[in-house]
Amino acid sequence: MSQRGSVLPPLVDRHILTSKTRNDVGVGAFAFLFSEIVQYSQTRVSNVSELERKLADVGFDVGVRMLELLVHREKAGKRENRILGILSFLHTNVWKNLFGKTADSLERGTSADDEYMISDHDLLVNRFISVPRDMGHLNCGAFAAGIVEGVLKSSGFPARVTAHSVTSEGLSRPKTTILIKFSPEVIERDERLGS
């Protein structure tokens, strides 16, 4: 937090912009930046899983900071301590702030009770990307999965989060489903706190 003769006030004293004064950027700005991040990441990895991991790592950073920003701005520092609470926060607040709309659905997993799914019919991150056939199941939504993982870890709900393409009736293209698998201690704690 050094001054170095800067005319701007120290970072911590600056206003966190409210939703009324925040600026918009063109969707192209993000899309091109993200596309470049994908291309750069490809040069540092040797297979599809590593690429998804790297994108998720970048997203993780975003998630951690987004949480701090949102908790301060929208929840006056109140902390979620229930699974449904944090998931709802993700589905509604986080999604709206990052992507301009709430997520399309929030569901409990059918195969395991430590799994939940947040789905988006038109995930911004994937909107312009056509994955070539030779890249198999690559989903650049891994970046969004990383964001979710960052938010969850920082709020005390560690989980393994991955992104998947799911074809859905009535949709012209597959939706992106973010699969969240909570660590056992999170499930235990939630059961203890619950009725």
Partner 1 sequence: MSSKAKGASPGGGDRINSELFTLTYGALVRHLLLDLESPEEVNKQLDKMGQNIGIRLVDDFLAKTNTGRCRNFREAAKTIAETGFRMFLGCSAKVTQIDDKECKMVLSENPLTDFVELPEKLQPLSYCSLLCGVIRGALEQISMKVECEISKDPLKGDERFELHMRLVEYVNEEYPFKDD
Partner 2 sequence: MLLSLYIVNKSGGLIYHRDFSSLAKLDTNDTLRLGSIWHSLHAISSQLSPVPGCKGIELLQAETFDLHNFQTPTGIKFFAVAECNSQGVDRFLKRVYGLYADYVLKNPFYELDMPIRCELFDLQLTSEVTLTMNA
Binding site for partner 1 (CB under 8 A): 1-2, 4-8, 10-11, 17, 22-30, 32-37, 39-40, 44, 57-59, 61-62, 65-66, 69, 97-101, 122, 124
d(CA 184, CA 181): 9
User: What residues line the site for partner 2 (CB under 8 A)?
Assistant: 28, 31-32, 34-36, 38-39, 42, 128-132, 135, 140, 172-173
Nearest Cα neighbor of 71 from 80, 58, 59 is 80
Minimum gap (Å) between residue 46 Cβ and partner 2: 16
Minimum gap (Å) between residue 33 Cβ and partner 2: 10
d(CA 36, CA 30): 10
* Complete edge-to-edge strand list for the sheet that includes strand 175-182: 105-108, 115-120, 175-182, 159-166
d(CA 93, CA 123): 15
Between residues 23 and 172, which has the closer beta carbon with respect to partner 1? 23
Choose the one of partner 2, partner 1, none that binds residue 166, judging by a C-beta under 5 to 8 angstroms depending on kind.
Answer: none
